[in-house]
Every structure is written in C-alpha cells, then in structure tokens.
Structure 1
C-alpha cells in the first residue's frame, strides 16, 4: 500500500531517532521510515565494512512526518541525500509524485533495475525510468492462530466457501473468526485488498490500465463483488463486535492470545502478532481466498517502502553508489529477511520467513498484483476508501454508494 500508509505505515509505523556511522552531522544524510530500520541499518553497516571512509548520519521518522516535513524539505532543496519513498503513486511522498516534480535522481543505469519483475515495475518506475530502490514484497493474507484452528478442528481454507465454513465452525466454538481493528484507518482497506486480486485482476490483469484510460470503474468491476463479500463476513457475525471501535493493537492481541482465530494483514506486521502470542510458533499465514475456483485466487504483494536519492543532493554520487550496493542479491536478501518480506529477486532459493512459504508459488507464478493504491492517480482515493469501508461497517452506506465515492475520488486530477 503506497500512499500515506502504504508499505511504510503497514510495515509497522514505528518511529525511532538515531545516528550512526560516524560524527554527528557528518557524512551522507539518510532518513528512513520506522519500518525500514532493521534492514536499512544492516545495509549501511555492511557498506561501511566495504568502504571504511563511508560515513552516514541516520534518523527515522513515522509516516505522517515523512509525508509533511520531508516533503517540504525536498521542495525547499534541503532534504537528506537518501530518504524513504513510497512505491508507486497515491501520496505526497510516493515515487510517482516526487519524480514528476523532478525531486528524485534517476537510477535507471544501475544493473539491478533490470531485474525488477514486470508486474512490479509500476512501483519503481515512472515513464520508463527507475527512481526508487526497495528490497522486496510484503504479502497480504490471513495471519492465523494455529491453536484456535486446532481447538475448532478446522484446516486452512483454499476457497471462499471453505473460508465461510471455517468461520462458522470457529464462531460456534466461541472463537471470533476474524479480528478487525477498523478504528485504525489503514486496517479498513485490508480485506478488500485481499479479495480484489481474485475478484478483479485474475479476470482483468490490465484493470489498472483500463482505469487510467477511463474504460473501467470500481463500480462496474469485481470491486463490487469484493465489497459485497466484506459485508457478508460482517453480516454473518464473523468479525469481532464493533470493528469501528476496535484498534489495530486490540485486533493483534485478539489473534495472538487466541481469542480470535485470524486477521487479514500484511506480512510486515508478523512480528507484532508474534509478540502478542505465547509462542511465535502459534501463528501461521495463508493466502486469503476470494473465489471458489482455486486457480482464480491471486494475492496482493506490495513493494515495501524504499529509498531514493534526492535530485538536489550534493553527495548524489556517494548516495547512488550505496543504492547500487543495496541492489546486490545478498544485500537484497539480508534486508528482506530483516523486515519479513519476500526478496525482489535472488541468486538461487530466496531466504524467507517460513511462514511466507504458501505465498511463494503465487509470486513465481505471476499471480500477485501490487497493492491496489500503488497505481491510483492521486492521494484522494485511499482516504476515501478508508472512509467508505467504515461507513459500510457502520451501516451508513451501500456497496454501490461506496464505489461511487471511490470513482469520484479517482477521477479528481492528480
């Protein structure tokens, strides 16, 4: 999810501030999103081992500050040399918006850019030029409590009908089937994002292109099916009581403790769920089925928040060299492992968290699509999506009315 929440906020919106690699205020100035810390630190430290003269000044900010303060610095020409950027489009700090404003350095001549899979180029490239490095993909599916499943005697579902049966069985056992913390706005989008790859893109892989051309709409597409299924889960009582009054943190705790069996979430928050569970091994993850045809169930895979070089950096050459270093397969793998994502590419078998194994065939089989907002044309659609889902859950809108609002937001000028 690019945009204000995007891969960055979804990948655990933490905030830390720190300096490393040398004298305060010296060297390459780097600002990252809180969710990047483990991977970015690892890459910077490895680069310093390679080049002892390399020096850096590192800090981290939460998503909202990146969207405001850093964007203002870029416009004023006093931004850090290297900084966090959200993939695709849809926010003030997204790759498309910044590159259109000529605020990012072109990285297209670097060898790693040739390895970007075709399905994800829209997250990295604008007008055929690459402006962002990101180590890989955060997948979206159901994080589930294995003990809750065992208590209810249910197995991981592979079709929509199986999912409904599993939820009904869990409910009868007194276990909340699906925890939903819709009071936290970015959580509202996740169920739709899990369903839309199967209801829309499996049938229309070029749906985003048709939307851009004006020959498709949310209202007249599989988005209506997805939102209808979202509401069906609620009407059957498969969510916790009052999702609009439940936070992300509360939903995480529910699944970790087994009060709830599942939550639709991104892999980047796995660590938070593991910390909420008695044992990390209590939790697994599986692709969330959207249809009754297994072959039509695709997954969303969102490129995680990345790095870019400020076009006005006085140390652009050094910054570009660091990005090139990050593009080496061993660094891509190390960074990806540190932030629980699937590497963008790998020499040989990628080293990934075993919990993500069920998602790998979808990625290798071209049955994965970027998080939907990464190709939306402006920063209006995503918050509209958040709002209409809360309206739906609160009984204050219909699927048709919700999608009409999203179409209107989409058609606003970028």
Structure 2
C-alpha cells in the first residue's frame, strides 16, 4: 500500500490505531447480540482442565454424579472457548438444548479449547482426554455420546477414530455432528482477500483466516490478498491423517444434522452481486461481491487508505454463496465491526447482503464434495446410502450455521443411548 491519501482522509497510522483499539474482526456463528454480550452461564458442577482445553460439566442430578455423559465439542472461532458464549448459543436460542438434555437424565459436558483456531489435530487431544476423564468419573457403565458443533464435530470425529486406531476403548455408542463441514466449509474469497489486505493495519481477521483450523476447514483458501484460491496444504495433510486413522470411528453409530435443506432450494443469495461496500473516506472504493461462476469473474475491489483499487478475480468457482446450507453473516459481521469505529476515521461500511453459505448441506451430511453447482444443489433423499453417516436430518429451511432448533435437537435427543 502506498502512502497517498485523499484530502481530509485519515492517514494510515490513525486508521491502524483505530482498528487496533476496536474489537477484533473475526467471524463467529450465532446471533449478533450473543456474539457481542452473552449473559453469564450458570456455574458448572465440575470443571476439568485438559490438554489443549477444558470441560464444563453440568450434571442432570448432582446427587447421583456423572451417569450418562454427553460430550459437546465447541466450534471454530479465535481465542479460547467461552463458556458464556456456548451457553448463550446452546441454551438461550430457539431451543433450550442443554435443559432438555438434563431433563432427560443426561449429563452435559461442554468441551472447550484453549485456542479454537488451533489445528483440529491438536484440539483432538482435549477431546480424547475429556472422553477418558468421563469414563474415569462415570458412575455405572452407561455408554457415552460424543460429538460437536461445526468444527467440534470434526475434532471429536478424529479423536474417536484415532482412539480406535490406537486400540483405546472410548466406550462411545453414539457420535453426532451438528452442521459440521465434513466435506469442507466456505468463506467467500472476497472476505478472505479483504482480511489479508488490511493485515498491516489490523492482523486479527487475517490471522483467523490463516489459522491452522481455517486452513483445514475451508474448501478453498488464500493466504495473501492477491493469491489464487486453492485447497490449502494443511487441509490436504489433515484429510490424509484422518484417512490414516480410518476416516471415521467405526464402533459408534454416526448421525448428523444440517442447518440447510436437502431439496436443493437455494438460500436466496444471488451470485455476483455486491454484498459489501465501503462508505467512509478511508474505505470508499472497496466493494465485495458474492461468488459468481465463470472465468475471470470480479469478486472484490479493495481500497483502504491508499488510492490503489486492485481487483480480485476468480475462475472455475461454483455459485456457492447461495447454496443450500448453514449460513454465516460474514459480510454483516465485517460491516458491523467497522461501523463501531468512530466515523471520523472514515471506515463506515454497509453490508447489502449480510450472509453467505458457510457449510453446504451436502458437506454437513458427508454426502458429496462442494466443488460444482450440481453437487451443491442436486436434491437428495432423507436416507441416502451415499452418505458416510449412518443417519442424518436436514433442516426444513436454510438457516444460520449451528442454529439450535427444536427440529434438529429433538431428532438428536431421540437417538441418544
């Protein structure tokens, strides 16, 4: 970036200081209110310190102790797992999942990680330790249920598979995933390029996009703002390691739910439309677009501080932002965070489209890859034998990623051992 500014525009040092003082720009699921100020969670009955993480335990009956353990792995974000945030999403949203578990006699074990953006393989050590701790503390011999939300479903999937590979008895009868990206997740290249473009001013967003977990989860990734999208080396290595230990645990029944539909109905987001625009002096000229198909298609024009307005183009990509699946307010989160900065700094922005597909339905139910329009949109039956899961359920409507609904949660609850 050069140092030339338009008249009356804040300089690079002023913008860097303002961005540095503002909340970090990082992508996270859940309602905006929950992301910003979750209410305090109740005190857990037990708290376990684990390698790479911790577990918060809520017993169904403290007088009986731990009898029917259900381990719920946390999802992708930046920084350590936050008990208040987890409780807000799992209990205070559309459906009180944790209350329902405990009322049915199950003990809730919320599995958190010291760094949610660390390698899935590293965080699987916390999952493995939580499983062993639950077995050691359990009263009786009721089998475990182990799974997770979003990335947590992959962390626990790998942990269980590796325990079987290592001949370690995990005593788990049911594995579940909740909108987990078994075949990959998606963050628009437009958002990734913007994250890296502002790295010298504030590195938080770029660091999240370049974190080990992001590289492992994302189907297409860029490390620099002007890179060509590709499957990152860390994802290739993660998938190879997952395959080395068997791909999936074989002993438990494997179920999963998707926050998207199976009918092929799109989420209503059109391809190639402007989703985000800079309005303040310091960012005017920045335009981010939803992903179009075709060759040399414009997905972003970038301008922050300088007079330069480089364009980002992609080729051979499907129109994935509008695909059936769980959505993430990626463009909306970016605009919200920039609009928290005082207007005098000139970073005012608008999200004309707030969300995009994050985990396509076919990825959440481990049915197909996500690299073509047909794979993303072709309808599939309720019980496709092509899925790597034993049983799955898709939502009636495309909805927010990991939205905890009665429809999906009661289906899981009815299948607990």
Q: Greater share of helix residues, 1 or 2?
A: 1
TM range, smaller chain: 0.3 to 0.5
Q: Structure 2 length normalisation: TM-score? A: 0.32
Greater RCO structure (CA 8 Å; 6+ sep): 1
Q: Structure 1 length normalisation: TM-score? A: 0.32
Q: Greater share of strand residues, 1 or 2?
A: 2
